[in-house]
Structure 1
Amino acid sequence: MNAISFYPLFLKCAKVTIDSRKIDKNDLFFAFSGETFNAATLAEKAIEQGALAVIVEKKEFANENKNIFFVPSTLKFLQELARHHRNQLEIPVIGLTGSNGKTTTKEIIHAVLSQKYNVQYTTGNLNNHIGVPLTLLSIKPEHEIAVVEMGANHQKEIEMLCEIAKPNLGYITNFGKAHLEGFGGFQGVIKGKSELFEYLKNNSQTILFNENDPVQVEKVADYQPKISFGLETSDYQFSEFSKDNLVGLRYQNKQALSNLTGNYNYTNLCAAASFGFHFDLSFDQIKTAIELYIPTNMRSQMMEKNGKTFVLDTYNANPSSMAESLKNFNQFTGTKSVIIGDMLELGDESEKEHQSILDLANSLTFDEIITVGNEFKKVNHHAKSFQNSQELSTYLKINSIASKNILLKASRGIALEQILEFID
């Protein structure tokens, strides 16, 4: 069986899932095999739960009379099916990658374009070799635009995802010090993320770029079609403003204030607004979307609790985003404490980068600095240092943080948001 012959049955499916706990009537279930568990053992049960079809990679579990189909690799078949489905689509597909701000930018682009169109987009963090195919397979006939986030931690991964998603337009948020271990250093990050631009150029597709980013400017020099923002000579010209620690953008004589903190989110707003203009939205429509969007995904999320203001940014962290978060938080008025956790996947650069971030934090006007994780513990000999979030939680049960403003920033693996319930 191949993707083309299976495709008519796929079109009858309600949705595609790889999670046996989320199977609904007429779903297509991909039974992935893991090191310790083979989901193919759940194939019969999935059909009983209402699945229309199941894909397995163990022959002994196949039963075509029950629509349980064998393929040599569930992953390859998922990708082939997504590639074939993408080839049938006639809607614009926006590809999005970058070191920082991918998910927030994707969410705002979706919010903006949804003011006029039926938009499908990457949910959560489904941005890898499994998530991108799942996103593509979720696109239905009623959708008019798709926004596909692409994550990567090594060379050639974005190139492979582009071959599946075939974006018509694309944008790179930035090039930062993320996944240095996998990419082989900062220049490797630039090369790996630029695979999106290379795909778009090789296929004569449209690039959106930030003219304030010299790397992006160099990558798209002498190329068309492209759309620019950032300078007075750009296609779309914005200016930044802030109010009550929130960032906004101005366009001509109008302005839109977001619910996001940090001037690093300004370019994310510019990118979303630029796509909005490209797809013929008015600034009033863009303004409505920006002002209604409220982050709830532990990315630049502001919240109030017991009279304190928290900036919760615990979904991801690398040296670039950590530095920007600290500098932005330093501008808050009132007492300020920072709780920063390890930045993961930095390889040989880890100790140097953690020391650099700690030096930066110490140079700013924070009332208290708390670090969490083994990497910070290696370099932190003065401020409060904890091995993990559980150890800090135990400390916070009997010790309070007096500051009115508190920043929580760390990589996902630190699970720093767990300490929130212990801060009173």
Structure 2
Amino acid sequence: MSLDLKNIVTVIQAKWLGNRTDTNIENISIDSRSLQNGPKTLFFALVGPNNDGHDYISTLITQGVHNFVVTHIPHELADKASFFVVDDTLKSLQIFAAYYRSMFHFPIIGITGSNGKTIVKEWLNFLLSPDYNIIRSPKSYNSQVGVPLSVLAINEKHNFGIFEAGISTRNEMEKLEFIIKPTIGILTNIGSAHDEGFSNIGEKIKEKLKLFKNVSVLIYNKNKTIDSFLNPTIDTFSWSCTDHHADVFITTKSILDKTILKVKIQNNHFEIKIPFRDDASIENAIHCMMVMLYLEYDYQTIETRMELLFPVEMRLKLKNGINNTTLIDDSYSSDFQSLKIALDFLESQKQYKKKTLILSDIFQSGLSNEDLYSGVSQLIISNKINRVIGIGETISKYKSKFLNCTTFQNTDDFIANLNQLNLSNETILIKGARTFHFEKIVAALEEKTHETVLEINLNAISHNLNFYKAKLNPETKIMVMVKAFGYGNGGFEIAKLLEHHKVDYLGVAFADEGISLKNSGINLPIMVLNPENSSFEAIIQHQLEPEIYSIKGLKAFLKIAEQKKLYHFPIHIKLDTGMHRLGFEEENIEELILILKASKAVVVKSILSHMATSDDVKHQAFSLSQIDLFEKLSLQLITALQINPIRHILNTSGISNFSQAQYNMVRLGIGLYGISNDAEEQKQLENVGTLKSIISQIRTIDAGESVGYGRRFVAEKPTKIATIPIGYADGISRHWGNGVGFVTINNQKATIVGSICMDMLMVDVTNINCFEGDSVIIFGESPTVIYMAEKLKTIPYEILTSISQRVKRVFYRE
């Protein structure tokens, strides 16, 4: 975003008091705590029930913010900044967001409904992101404030939008429709959430349908009630599992932990498999499938992508509990409709026959308490719940409606009596309204994990990939390096994600890495950058593509290729343009051409070289000389052999610093994993790997006592020491010990003391409130891998690739 402040003032019809007339605005803010606030920020001072943005203007001015949208100018600040006075700052924010939205003309999906909005949004983002640069609502930004902030995040790189719209009462949806202006609508369902804001279900349906008054199509589950409220001028694309008059008819069949959807559309039939069995996930998945059908995706693509759908961690989280229990954490909502969904989820995920429900008072039901708890009782009976534990004054009054029920007045009362409940060998659904703070119950019942893990954020990998893609010409191909176990982050899981994102090539160092990926089902072309002659047979067998960098290696490969009577097997020719590591030098080119001309067993798929200093501006002249030599030698090969190969020389730093040399393809390496040599670029990347452990033991030592081998740390005063089960056998450098490095515990730095041992390290936690079993961040957001590398006088590559394979990798999507 970069907009002239004068235009903004005109749009929101503000009275301008101030003398700054030339400011371009690049950031809209409503949060005084944001570190992004600065001279190019326009701050909207929103007034809410608990906060007034006007109260923070003085502080923001000291932080460099110059421009404020206000309803009044705070006392003594009139000459301190520029103020744009309006009647209603929220309304002005919405008007501005609507104006900003009108500047973009790509498809936008608007999603509303009682449940499933965020999941459908996140799944659609996953399903469509290989083909579009998508802007979507962050988390659940679907409110009167969240929607404009979401829309204001659009930039010129985006070509598809997905936004949620949530309402709780009348006359809200028109404002959101005015901002979002969706071209495609999705109505997920109509349930009981926020019933209290409407006089009847009809009023609620009419309000939600206002989001779709200008859409090209509305996608929904065909329903007679909804049909009766639909504007007949709106085109619809409906589905149903019961009504054959729907545009798409679907039947479902469960197999183990998956569901087969048999889909009939017009005279066509196809099947897809999704990794879920609960009704809510099936419904959400069908909405996503309908969007793909409307966008005319082929059935094979739909089938392939839908099978990769994943649980979205929002309200329902499956966790291991103490005493051989399984916990289903739904500790932030308590309406009747979501209880039905949670109980369905409990049934599909239960690991123990015995089922217990911990339930708070229920809100947002739209029913009298008598009818509500009678309905809950019937729901519990039908789901064969063995025990109910009710928490809250209201549910306690209706205890008699439940069999085998124990009640408590509040959460603290429950926790105080926890040991008397004998929770063991059962599946426990924990479902409560936010005001009951059921997260305390989850914390009390959750099993504390005692292991060191490297958590890999697949969303961050996708973000970083798209960041670098945005720097490329549309026709430029991309090879992603997954060598060295994906730079220590894991091979197959990352390769699978990259395949989903339709990268053109994967790069590995040795044949066995490529063979492992092929055996795991990766179908992308895989280039082996450092093939040994002894691996050529295996490379051919597994359809890998070798980099050839010497006459000797070429002759060895041709000998095998001709014995096997191969024809045009793809190879990649490496040129040495100054790295002086591997590659054909200029004096080898004539001989190389003669050998290649004489054989039809291979075809040159690509010509490549490697830049030695693409990350260092001091050596820009050398980098340019490498590019020039690559141009000369590669053209010599192309002309002599009369071929049209892919050419590539740029690595991660080269993509950013030498975009003129993109040729036909670039090779993305460390940047994918969230590491850049450029400080400004680093701010745009997301952290991928977080190495975590726990505190095994805490002890206090007296002054004069030492810690670890060699007594390299001696306490000068009583010191609290925590021992963490990770050491140099796990890949932590011994040079990181003895006061050089630190870990993060409860958001505080804990200095490493003494020598790092093979399996353990010790830290000073004297000033940190922590306990045995608490989580420890070895690296991630703090300390970063870049910081560690600087202190250890090495490079981030070494830090990442040193993490031992004995450290468990855990992959997740946020």
TM-score (norm 1): 0.85
- Does the CA contact (< 8 Å) of 1:210 and 1:217 recur in 2? no
2:138 is paired with a residue of what secondary structure? Answer: coil
Alignment of 1:108-187 (within 5 A): 108-187=123-202
Q: Work out whether 1:39 is the aligned partner of 2:53.
A: yes
Matches within 5 A, 1:6-405: 12-24=24-36, 25=38, 26-35=40-49, 37-51=51-65, 53-60=67-74, 66-197=81-212, 200=213, 203=214, 205-211=216-222, 213-220=223-230, 222-231=232-241, 234-243=246-255, 249-251=261-263, 252-258=269-275, 262-283=278-299, 285-286=301-302, 287-288=304-305, 291-298=308-315, 300-306=316-322, 307-330=324-347, 332=350, 334-346=353-365, 349-381=368-400, 383-396=405-418, 399-405=421-427
| CA distance in structure 2 between the partners assigned to 1:185 and 1:358 by the alignment | 24
Conserved? CA contact 2:192–2:364, under 8 Å:
no
The one-character-per-residue Cα deviations of 1:11-61 (angstroms, maximum 9, x if unpaired) are 954443322112315443322234554322322432443547432332236
SS across alignment from 1:295: coil
Contact 2:279–2:344 (CA<8 Å) still a contact in 1? no
| The structure with more helix, counted as a fraction of residues | 1
Structure with higher Rg: it is 2
- Which secondary structure does the structure 2 equivalent of 1:340 belong to? strand
Q: How many residues align?
A: 416
Residue identity matched to 1:100: N
Distance 2:427 2:116 in 1: 23
Structure 1 position 129, deviation (Å): 1.2
Q: Could you list the per-position Cα deviations for residues 195-215 of structure 1 after superposition, in whole angstroms to 9, with x for gaps in the alignment?
A: 334xx2xx363111212x332
Residue 376 of structure 1 aligns with an amino acid whose one-letter code is: I
Amino acid at match of 2:34: K
Structure 1 residue 348: deviation in Å?
5.6
Question: 1:308 and 1:288, CA in 2 relative to 1: closer, same or farther beyond 3 A?
Answer: farther
Question: Cα gap change, 1:54/1:326 in structure 2, threshold over 3 Å: closer, same or farther?
Answer: same
Deviates more, 1:403-412 or 1:64-73: 64-73
Tell me which moved more, 141-150 or 228-237: 228-237
Judged with a 3 Å threshold, the aligned counterparts in structure 2 of structure 1 residues 11 and 117 are, in CA distance, closer, same or farther, namely farther
Q: For the structure 1 residues 129 and 11, does the alpha-carbon distance in structure 2 shift closer, same or farther, using more than 3 Å as the test?
A: farther
Going from structure 1 to structure 2, the CA distance change for 1:85 and 1:4 (only over 3 Å counts) comes to farther
The verdict on how the C-alpha distance between 1:372 and 1:4 changes in structure 2, with shifts beyond 3 A counting, is same
Note the C-alpha offset of 1:408: 2.2
Q: Which amino acid aligns with 1:208?
A: I
| Structure 2 partner of 1:5 | 10
Q: Write the distance in 2 (CA, Å) between the matches of 1:35 and 1:272.
A: 37
Runs of 5+ consecutive residues of structure 2 not aligned to the other structure: 1-5, 13-20, 264-268, 447-814
What is the rounded CA distance, in whole Å, between the counterparts of 2:417 and 2:257 in structure 1? 29
* 8 Å CA contact 1:111, 1:293 repeated in 2: no
Deviations 1:366-416 (A, max 9, x none): 221122223322212351122333332333255442243222233333333
After TM superposition, give the deviation of residue 143 of structure 1 in Å.
1.3
Judge conservation of contact 2:46–2:89 (CA < 8 Å) in 1: yes
Kindly indicate whether the alpha-carbon contact (under 8 Å) linking 1:240 and 1:249 is maintained by their aligned counterparts in 2: yes
Unaligned runs of 5+ in 1: none
Greater RCO structure (CA 8 Å; 6+ sep): 1
**Which digits, 9 at most, give the CA deviation of each residue in 1:228-272, with x for residues without a partner?**
2225564444443445556564555543323x5621221111111
Q: d(CA) in 2 for partners of 1:371 and 1:126? A: 31
TM normalised by structure 2 equals 0.47
Question: Contact (CA 8 Å) 2:110, 2:165: kept in 1 or not?
Answer: yes
